Structure 1
Amino acid sequence: MSQREKKLKLGIPKGSLQDSTIKLFAKSGWKINLHHRNYFPEINDPDIECSLCRAQEMPVYVQDGTLDVGLTGKDWILENEAEVVTVDELVYSKMSNRPARWVLAVGGDSPYRRPEDLAGKKIATELENFTRRYFQQADIPVEVEFSWGATEAKVVSGLADAIVEVTETGTTIRAHGLRIIAELLTTSTQLIANTRAWEDPWKQDKITQMRTLLQGALRAESLVGLKMNVHQDRLDQLMQILPSLTSPTVSNLYQADWLSIEIVVQESTVRDLIPDLQSIGVEGIIEYPLYKVI
């Protein structure tokens, strides 16, 4: 097969991560267009073919070569005990840029305080295999039952004594009157590759390019660029208050005693930084978004 005929088979996670994944790829330079009731989206790269796939099944399809590369959770890799190449961790989700946690939760008024207290009890979860291994390794005999959904309600309705469920903030867990007694696993989105695809130089180069641009887009999400003008007499004062990712770029303005300054800063610092800049006479402050930081 010639280089031009090669295709990288990319799996996009269907479900809760779908929109945030497509948005991340768009920031990275790949526009993915979905079609109603079609599991094969279009992408603006002739070297890539896309498929929608549930994150829970992604490791299986990457392992068997149906897909060359895909995005899924670390939890589903462990659940399926999949033999894949973990290319990189991409910390993003549908809600926030933080890893999610699989927690063990019980009723708020239950007597259970630790995993050991659940010996002989029933636990409902979608992460069935991992949960079973967790309790086996801890030598705690429990009955693990697969949950097809609405897992938080299983304890309230008396269908289970405890649940293992994924959460980012714990809000939904608490809203159902449950109490977290243990954290079993911290997970985040992983870029994974088929082992044979990773050994192919052309595919590895393409996957590495993908990793670089996805990570660049993620880094840029919390950063902004700032441009400003300052009189050269105030430069030392300015440097004392400027937080920056790297040293600021300083250039002379044409036929003037003023300097142009350009920096990259955390977006969260800008609201407090601008008044400080104005207090020392900085003018022409411009804030602009960043799409990638490599």
Structure 2
Amino acid sequence: MSNSLKLGLPKGSLEQSTIELFAQAGWNITPFSRNYFPVIDDPELTCSLVRPQEMALYVADGTLDLGLTGQDWIRERDCEEKVLPITLLEYSKSSNKPCRWVLAVRKESPIQSLADLQGKRVATELEHVTRSYLLQHGVSAEVIFSWGATEAKAVEGLVDAIVEITETGSTIHAHGLRIIDEVMQTSTCLIANPQAYSDPWKKEKIDQIALLLSAALAARHKVILKMNIPSANLQKILPFLPSLNAPTISPLTDSSWLAVETVVDRKLVRQLIPQLKAAGAVGILEYDLQKVV
């Protein structure tokens, strides 16, 4: 039975945000500029930096036991039946939302719908998925692989359309392009080699990593609010005070006051704090969380 797990980390735009996520989950990873093998402070793990586009292939053939890559690249490499998805980890380099692969054309292009691509040329890095998407919709178009600067190929008229990944669409629009359809949404997925996951020791380690990564991401959406409230105002405050289950309420030495602690969605804080203040709460404190399990 092996006592080492081979972990693949995405090289490129997701590299830093993945290292930060692992740090929040409890593992410190130190990358080196001159090699692809970061050091991790866990003797049971070894790390390799791998391009997300190739990750599923290396997990599928057992070179890696575990890796993080997008659902898009799992489909593109035809590895959906060859790797075991453990959990979705919705994060990207700048947000916690899924990214989109979109079909886009120049703003002034006469192409208005997918059907207008019949006989046209489409550039993308996501060749296999794009061909399947066009075939599914009965469109026959030439799909060519793009080695980069994909938006520029449409702007310069080298191709009629592109399929490119975007988080918000702002970069697409900034290049003078117009989105006409969405090909797929994608999030980062923790995937395992099926044979590795059948090993009891590796399964336990993989499940530990999945649990703590998911807990770290869940914590990014939550905060702890602590406050003191007048005992007489408790029933006024409770109806608009959300929590994971129920707020923690403790008496103070002054029986006319209570200490209240609760976990709430981060996005609700800006509405909650003024409401709490108006209801008599004082000493309101907000704390970030590291994990929510």
TM-score of Structure 1 vs Structure 2, range by shorter chain: over 0.9
Q: More displaced, 9-18 or 224-233?
A: 224-233
Cross-structure match for 1:236: 235
Map 1:1-294 → 2, pairs under 5 A: 1=1, 6-82=3-79, 83-254=82-253, 256-294=255-293
Q: Which shifted more, 241-250 or 180-189?
A: 241-250
Give TM-score scaled by structure 1 length: 0.96
Deviations 1:219-268 (A, max 9, x none): 11021101111121111112123122320001111353321110001122
**Alpha-carbon distance in 1 for matches of 2:292, 2:161:** 43
* Partner amino acid, structure 2, of 1:49: T
For structure 1, the 5+ residue unaligned runs are none
Which is further off, 113-122 or 250-259?
250-259
Identity %: 56
Count of paired positions: 291
- Partner Cα distance (1:288, 1:259) in 2: 19
**CA 158–141 in structure 1, closer or farther in 2 if over 3 Å, else same:** same
Letter in structure 2 aligned against 1:222:
H
CA displacement 1:93-148 (0-9 Å, x = unmatched): 00211001111111111111122211111110000111122222333211111000
Partner Cα separation in structure 1 for residue 86 and residue 8 of structure 2:
14
- Stretches (4+) displaced over 3 A: none
Q: Which amino acid aligns with 1:252?
A: P
Any unmatched runs of 5+ in structure 2? none
Deviation at 1:183, TM superposition (A): 0.7
Q: Match for 2:134: what amino acid?
A: F
- Alignment partners' CA distance in 2, 1:156 and 1:280: 56
CA contact (8 A) 2:40 2:47 kept: yes
- Report the 3-state secondary structure (helix = DSSP H, G, I; strand = E; otherwise coil) of the residue aligned with 2:215: helix
2:53 is paired with a residue of what secondary structure? Answer: coil
CA–CA distance in structure 2, aligned partners of residues 153 and 213 of structure 1 = 40
Alpha carbon RMSD of aligned pairs, Å?
1.2
Normalising to structure 2: TM-score of the pair? 0.96
